[in-house]
Amino acid sequence: MENLNKYVEHTLLKQDATRAELIKLFDEAKQYNFLGVCVNPCYVPLAKENLKDSDVKIVTVIGFPLGANTTETKIFETINAVRDGADEIDMVINVTKLKDRELDYIVNEISGIKAACQGKALKVIIETDLLTKEEVKLASELCVKGGADFVKTSTGFVKGGVGAKVEDVEIMYNTVKDAGLQVKASGGVRDKDAAIAMIKAGASRLGTSSGVKIVS
């Protein structure tokens, strides 16, 4: 498969990431012409400075990794991230609210954050490792109702989780495709075979820290 680099959001979200590691991430994103980088919100200005002469998108995460912040906090985070130069926003849903079937809460939160994105793309992380197949479908439907642009598999932070699975990506894609939403597979996409499998299942984005390995 050609142009795999244009599916990759080169990702560094670990707690102990150093400035030097982030600079390396940005340099690799430019070298391999990746679609984007994904970093924590406080590093968006650093990304903006280092990627200013490139077309690499700056993606950041909101309510990460648990999704249990208040909606107001997530909206405030989003406004700040956009102000700082984020091109796209990846928010984490409140999984407890989904499990408890407080569905209006989920939809209202997504729509509120989408409004705060000021036209920037919004991806919604549903954390598939914690969901049944029925819940994966339901969460994807709520992303449509909330006005999101993408539904995304995982944070990669669930202890013992495997991250993106082909069968979950297929469910997500088949649920949202007619509404025009896209799918981002993230977590556990560590080699070219895995990347291609996710794309064939319907993913149009890959969130991975293994981008260089995948395209090499």
Selected from 2.40.110.10, 3.20.20.70, 3.40.50.300, 3.40.50.2300, the CATH number assigned to the domain covering 4-215 reads 3.20.20.70
Burial of 88 (0-12, 13-18, 19+ CB in 10 A): buried
Please indicate whether residue 90 is annotated as part of the active site: yes
Catalytic residue among 57, 114, 165, 184: 184
Q: Residue 20's pLDDT is what?
A: 98
Instruction: Give the three-state DSSP class for 151.
Output: strand
Please indicate whether residue 152 is annotated as part of the active site: yes
pLDDT in tens, the chain (216 residues): 889 999 999 999 999 999 999 999 999 999 999 999 999 999 999 999 999 999 999 999 999 999 999 999 999 999 999 999 999 999 999 999 999 999 999 999 999 999 999 999 999 999 999 999 999 999 999 999 999 999 999 999 999 999 999 999 999 999 999 999 999 999 999 999 999 999 999 999 999 999 999 999
Q: Residue 2's pLDDT is what?
A: 81
Tell me, letter by letter, the H, E, C secondary structure of 91-149: EECCHHHHHCCCHHHHHHHHHHHHHHCCCCEEEEECCHHHCCHHHHHHHHHHHHHHCCC
Catalytic residue among 90, 129, 149, 168: 90
Q: Residue 100's pLDDT is what?
A: 98
DSSP 188: S
In this prediction the pTM is: 0.97
Q: Do 181 and 146 touch, CB atoms closer than 8 A?
A: no
**Residues near 135 by Cβ (< 8 Å), separated by ≥ 6?**
98, 99
Tally DSSP H helices, then E strands, for the chain.
9, 8
Catalytic residue among 57, 97, 123, 152: 152
> Could you tell me the residue ranges of all domains in the chain?
4-215
